Amino acid sequence: MMYACPVCNGWNEMQEACPQCGQSLQDYGRTGDFYGPYSPYRPIDDIRLTNGIPDVRLHQCIHTCYCAHCKHKVEITIEETRV
Q: Please report, for residues 1, 18, 26, 45, the alpha-carbon distance to residue 76 in angstroms, rounded to integers and kept in the order given.
A: 24, 10, 11, 18
- The pLDDT score that the predictor gives to residue 69 is 97
| 46-57 mean pLDDT | 76
Q: Which residue has the higher pLDDT, 34 or 73?
A: 73
Longest C-alpha distance within the chain, in Å?
Answer: 40
Name the least confident of 11-20, 41-50, 72-81. Answer: 41-50
Give pTM, 2 decimals.
Answer: 0.80
Q: What's the CA gap between 49 and 67, in Å, rounded? A: 28
Number of H helices, E strands in the chain: 2, 5
User: What was the pLDDT predicted at 28?
Assistant: 95
Classify 34 in phi/psi space as left (phi over 0), alpha (psi -120 to 50) or beta.
alpha
